[in-house]
Amino acid sequence: MAFEQSETFSQYGRIAFRLRGVAFPERTNALDVYLPVVKRYSLPDSMDATRRIVFDHFDLVTTWKGLSIGQARELHFWEKTFETCLGAMVEEAVTDQLNSSAIAIDNLEPIDLYNRVSSFIGTLGVKTFTVDLEKLMNHMIAHYERERERYTWFNAGGNVRTALKNFLRTGECFHQDIFQHPTIHVQFYMPSTPSTQGLFIDAEVLWRPPYVTFDDLTTTVSEGSEFRLLPRYREPLQGRAQRSFMLETEYFIGPHDGWLKG
């Protein structure tokens, strides 16, 4: 997503905001939707090379399967809409924090204003935001209704909100707090050096990798007795207000030789 003038930050001058992360693949057109997305697990930079070798490193590759070109175009639209609307909500939350801070920003020259805002953004680090899914979907649907091209896939069942809820679950960015409210973790970076052209703010929505647990996992077992591994995928955004969609899960256990028999 290119930097765009932020309506939320516009009250402070020319400030542009961009949201990025694995939930928002860098796609330039609908054909890019067919390309797999590689999501890399990373280890902390503080770990030295000696300790790194004790880890098995796994990357995750995701892709959409069996899409028509029309469905690919619609997915591309909804991905960009998700990015735009969630970005606007994050901007609003950050603006509220800026307004309630002790930083004096009134009656400043543009370059001084940008420096003040830049310093504020640089102190945020990783912030957790609660996301109102109904509000997010309302924004996305309003964006959809303003679109000239009529997309029909998500609305094929007559309820675009149900399709959007399931689409949002694929974003791999939502967590849930102790009250099961959806949240996101956002990493803010020190903005680029302000200039008379304005200030450019970059924020990354952190990845929530798929969460798999094991039912009734036994840590000890006697020789010759049965040992069962029962993996269970824990679906994000699961609660009374969000009905589950159908999941078809395939498990592969290997290797086929050695101590473990699949």
Q: What are the DSSP calls for 5-27, one per residue?
A: E-TTGGGGSSEEEEEESTTS---
- What pLDDT score does 2 carry? 42
- What pLDDT score does 148 carry? 77
Helix (H, G, I), strand (E, B) or coil at 105: coil
* Model confidence pLDDT, tens digit, residues 41-74: 655 444 444 444 444 556 788 899 899 999 999 9
Asked if 163 and 157 count as a contact pair (C-beta separation under 8 A), the reply is yes
d(CA 231, CA 220): 17
* Model confidence pLDDT, tens digit, residues 217-261: 777 888 888 877 777 777 777 655 555 555 566 666 555 555 554
| pTM as predicted | 0.78
Q: Are strands 182-188 and 211-214 parallel, antiparallel or unpaired?
A: unpaired
> Is the model more confident about 164 or about 241?
164
Place of tokens 């067919």: 34
- What pLDDT score does 223 carry? 84
Strand locations in 110-235, DSSP E?
126-130, 175-176, 182-188, 199-205, 211-214, 231-234
Nearest Cα residue to 203 out of 25, 19, 23: 19
* Model confidence pLDDT, tens digit, residues 178-204: 677 889 999 998 777 666 667 788 899
From residue 216, how far is each of 57, 66, 169, 228, 257 by CA, in Å? Answer: 26, 36, 26, 9, 26
Nearest Cα residue to 233 out of 219, 246, 242: 246
* φ and ψ at residue 75, rounded to 5 degrees: -60, -40
- What pLDDT score does 98 carry? 82
Range in 12-26, 131-145, 244-258 with the lowest mean pLDDT: 244-258
From residue 253, how far is each of 185, 228, 229, 250 by CA, in Å? Answer: 33, 12, 10, 10
- What pLDDT score does 217 carry? 79
